[in-house]
Structure 1
C-alpha cells in the first residue's frame, strides 16, 4: 500500500506552473505576491526543487494567483484531471490564442526545415 504523498507528482506541478507563467506572461514575483508566498517557495514549486509536502493552502493560493480554481494544483499533484475555470475553457479569445500558438509552431517547423535544406545545399 502506498504511503500518503508517495505518488505525488511534483514534476507535473512544476510543468503546470511553468506553462501557466508562459501562457499569462506573468513573472514569478507577480505570482508570489498575489499568492502571498515567498519567491523561494514559488521557485521551488516551479522548478521542483526540494520536493516536499506543502500545506494545501500554499498550493491553493498559487493556483488562484495563476487564475485557476483553488484545488487545481492539488489535483495536478495527485494525477487527477485538473480543470480550469469553466469560463476559461469556453473563452473565445483563449481558444483563438491556442489556435495561433499551434499555427506559429507549425510555421516554425517549416522555417526550420527550409533552413536545414538551404544549409544542406550550401554544404
Structure 2
C-alpha cells in the first residue's frame, strides 16, 4: 500500500501536509502509511479519506492493503524451507525508498523555488530567501 500511496502522491505532486489537510488525517498518520510502518491497524475511515483526497475510489487503499496482505501470505507459503519470507518483498521495499526520495526531492525543490512542483501555477515571490 505504501508503494501505491507514494507513487500517487508523486504523480499528483502532493506533499504530506497537503494530503493531511485534504484528507483530514494527521501528518503522522500519512507518514506511517507512506512508510508502511503501521504498528496498529489503520481504520477503514482513514484509508477512505486518504483515497478520496487522492482522487481514487473510496475503497481503493483498502483493496490495495488486502491485496498486499494476500501477496505477503503467498510469498511466505512459496518461500523455500529455511528461507526468510521477508526477503521476497525486497524489490517493493527498494521501490518504496526510491519513491520517498523522489517525494522528498520534490518537497525540497518546492521550498527552494516555490511553484516548481506545481503545474499551471506561477511562483509567488515572497521576498528574499532568508537562506541567501
Q: Which TM-score tier does this pair reach, normalised by the shorter chain?
A: 0.5 to 0.7
- 2:28 counterpart of 1:40: yes
Return the TM-score normalized by structure 2: 0.49
Cα RMSD of the aligned pairs, angstroms, is 1.3
Return the TM-score normalized by structure 1: 0.53
Runs of at least 5 residues in structure 1 that lack an aligned partner in the other structure: 1-12, 81-123
Runs of at least 5 residues in structure 2 that lack an aligned partner in the other structure: 69-132
Aligned length: 68
Which of 56, 59, 80 in structure 2 is aligned with 1:71?
59
Q: 4+ residue runs of structure 1 moved beyond 3 angstroms?
A: none
Q: Which has the higher contact order (CA 8 A, sep 6+)?
A: 2
Matches within 5 A, 1:50-89: 50-79=38-67
Larger Rg: 1
1:54, distance to aligned residue in structure 2 (A): 1.2
User: What's the counterpart of residue 14 of structure 2?
Assistant: 26
1:46, distance to aligned residue in structure 2 (A): 0.5
Aligned equivalents of 2:57 and 2:36: distance in 1?
A: 21
